[in-house]
Amino acid sequence: MTVFLLRRLLQAAAVVLVMSLLVFLGVYAIGDPVEILISPEADQIERERAIQALGLDLPLWQQYLVFLGRALQGDLGLSFVFNEPALRLILDRMPATLELAVGATLVALVIGLPLGLYAGLRPHSPVSKGILAGSILGFSLPTFWVGLMLIMVFAVQLGWLPSTGRGETVTVLGMRWSFLTRDGLAHMVMPTVNLSLFKTSLVIRLTRAGVRETMLMDYVKFARAKGLSPARITFVHVFKNILIPVVTVVGLEFGGTIAFSVVTESVFAWPGMGKLIIDSINVLDRPVMVAYLMIIVLMFITINLVVDITYSLLDPRVRLEGKS
């Protein structure tokens, strides 16, 4: 196990390194930040000064080495636009995105699990078919479109919820959170629902599929034969069994949710990381883009590693040593 762990860690480090190169090259292939950032009225001399000030006069490999050297010391560079450390900018915005993503995950579980369970237990009832058809809406409607519809209905027409923004926040542990205030919660409702749409569909479908398969398993038949109540069978035996894959997937999806919050955040003017990255892409703020992508990469790799390890512990048939 230790050997396996060590090897995975080494591999993860290699992935991070390769990824840093790819990200760097990818980000540096798009456009010319000086053209975007500089005032249109700037003359040629001012343009040359800006290129130098941003360190863009060096050859690409030198820029990469400078970046790598600093990155090893935990410094991902200064934002071109804000002249502040890119890492700090992102960490500042992280709580906003985290609470949105956690909220969306909770909504998905709270709505998705019961509906999926029902649809799995009664696969042929019209309600189940309705649930399943409804879940298709969750991933076929474009997020940005649903977001605007929500705003139009609940903020503009009905006036129940604030249209955009984050509302009042409270500082806890040095970070600003909005789920602790009433106003903040009201602001969170629509973006959270918007972001959870896809995830909810996913949970419904996974739960339904899991329940249908598990109900036919021998141990469920035995439980029935033993005369256990249907409720006990459903909630203790079946539920416990399907929870593992569902939670695994939701865990894996968490990173994706954070990445995908880009669209939701820009529709709802939610000042999170996703909004920051879209703004940064629009002005080609390369240090922020690179730092953001590196953070995402690290996060995903960590999640994957944890999932794989849990997996091998849970299911002895999958031996991750991968020797044949």
Q: Which stretch binds another protein (CB under 8 A): 34-42, 60-68, 97-105, 223-231?
A: 34-42
Contact flag: residue 300 with another protein (CB under 8 A): yes
Strand partners, 171: 176
DSSP state of 84: S
Residues that bind another protein (rule: CB under 8 A) add up to a total of 123
Q: Which is closer to another protein, CB of 100 or CB of 297?
A: 297
Contact flag: residue 71 with another protein (CB under 8 A): no
Q: Supply the minimum distance, in Å, between the C-beta of residue 38 and another protein.
A: 4
Q: Which residues contact 219 (CB under 8 A, 6 or more apart)?
A: 237
Return the residues of window 174-233 that contact another protein according to CB under 8 A: 180-184, 198, 202, 205-206, 209-210, 212-213, 216
Contact flag: residue 30 with another protein (CB under 8 A): yes
Return the residues of window 135-164 that contact another protein according to CB under 8 A: 136-137, 139-145, 148-149, 151-152, 155-156, 159, 162-164
Question: Contacts from 69-77 at CB under 8 Å and sequence distance 24+?
Answer: 71/20, 71/294, 76/287, 76/290, 76/291, 76/294, 77/287, 77/290, 77/291
* Residue of 8, 19, 2 whose CA lies nearest to 298: 19
- CB count in 10 Å sphere of residue 3: 8
Strand partners, 176: 171
- Looking at 71, 86, 131, 275, which residue binds another protein (CB under 8 A)? 275
Contact flag: residue 63 with another protein (CB under 8 A): no
How far is CA 35 from its chain centroid?
Answer: 31
Contact flag: residue 309 with another protein (CB under 8 A): no
Q: Supply the minimum distance, in Å, between the C-beta of residue 320 and another protein.
A: 9
Return the residues of window 2-21 that contact another protein according to CB under 8 A: 11-12, 14-15, 18-19
Q: Which stretch binds another protein (CB under 8 A): 30-38, 106-114, 222-230, 231-239?
A: 30-38
What is the H or E stretch that residue 175 is in?
strand 175-177
DSSP state of 235: I
Residue whose pair of structure tokens reads 């003359």 in the numeric block: 43
What is the H or E stretch that residue 170 is in?
strand 170-172
